[in-house]
Amino acid sequence: MRTALRTALAIVALVGTATASVVTATATAAGAATTAASSTSSACVATKTIPSVFGGWKVKLVNSADNGASAKLLDEKGHLVSTVDQSRTVDSANGLRITGVLSARPVFGQRSEGGSTPWKSTAFPVLSADCTQSGRLARTLRLDSRTAAQIFKISASHYQARVYQSGKLVRFIDAHGRAGAALFGSRTLVLNPDGTTATWTGAKTAANPRLGRYKLANGATVKLVKRAGVYGAQLTTSHGTFSVEYAKGRPSVQQDDVTLVVLGADGTLSGYVYGKTQKPPVYLGA
């Protein structure tokens, strides 16, 4: 019987940004272990379709934690006519607008004529609490020349982050009692429930990789599986084999001592090993 082991890595200096990251894991009996931090949630996207003020046309409303609200005007054949979103919140020519595009309760407005014609307002579908930014701004983390993450504190064990790239919202992270993560471009960002972060670039697979076992830089392995269309990852280190964590809509996070593994909903597998030269996970076979 393996004695339960609890380890903590107090400070991790990772590629791109030096940040503090507390990493804790507990290993139990041989062949079984539990993750200290993981994050699986809904996709944080809500949609609904409403009639357009132009007869026979429709408007598709999308409320996304990662990208804010957007509305697409579709003609009677379903062809896209116009879009309003965080990049352009008003289309006067087609009578479209969004109020509070990045707020918790955005509102869509439409009208068939300009001038003094009143707007017809429709509320976007509301996202769940773990998909909605709240709390106070604790700090801003600069990731590179174009990218920054705003870190918000809700409570001592609940933090959130909004990632902006060239001024546009590109990712949202919720860490409530467990770690959350985001993968975008070549970068991975992990947010712990105490507000600390870990971030690195590279060291990940492409989307939709082959199922099977992958080796990390320190020899730890990750088994990539898929069940009912949802990717899952099972980490094995010298402390034991952890349970499978599924990335249902949102990335999942597994942490054990110096090893961090993030799995995206599209199967992207990203790993970081403190003190090692970083490289993408190596496929070992089924």
Each residue's pLDDT, cut to its tens digit, for the chain (286 residues) gives: 333 323 333 333 333 333 333 333 333 223 333 333 333 236 899 999 999 999 999 999 999 999 999 999 999 999 999 999 999 999 999 999 999 999 999 999 999 988 888 999 999 999 999 999 999 999 999 999 999 999 999 999 999 999 999 999 999 999 999 999 999 999 999 999 999 999 999 999 999 999 999 999 999 999 999 999 999 999 999 999 999 999 999 999 999 999 999 999 999 999 999 999 889 999 999 8
Query: CA-CA distance, 177 to 123, in Å (whole number)?
Result: 31
d(CA 155, CA 140): 17
Q: For residue 42, what pLDDT is reported?
A: 66
Rounding to the nearest 10 degrees, give the CA dihedral for residues 86, 87, 90, 96: -70
User: Among candidates 47, 102, 242, 271, which has minimal Cα distance to 181?
Assistant: 271
> What are the two backbone dihedrals, phi and then psi, of residue 226, each rounded to the nearest 5 degrees?
-145, 125
Domain ranges, ordered by start, for the chain: 5-42+131-285, 45-123
Residue 120 DSSP SS3:
strand
From CA 179, how far away is CA 182, in angstroms rounded? 11
The overall pTM is greater than 0.85: no
Furthest CA-CA distance within the chain: 77
Other beta carbons less than 10 A from residue 210's beta carbon: 11
Q: What is the pLDDT of residue 23?
A: 35
Q: How many CB atoms lie within 10 A of CB 55?
A: 8
Q: What is the pLDDT of residue 14?
A: 38
**Which string of b and e fits 129-138 if b means at least 16 CB within 10 Å?**
ebbbbeeeee
At position 148, the amino acid (one-letter code) is: A
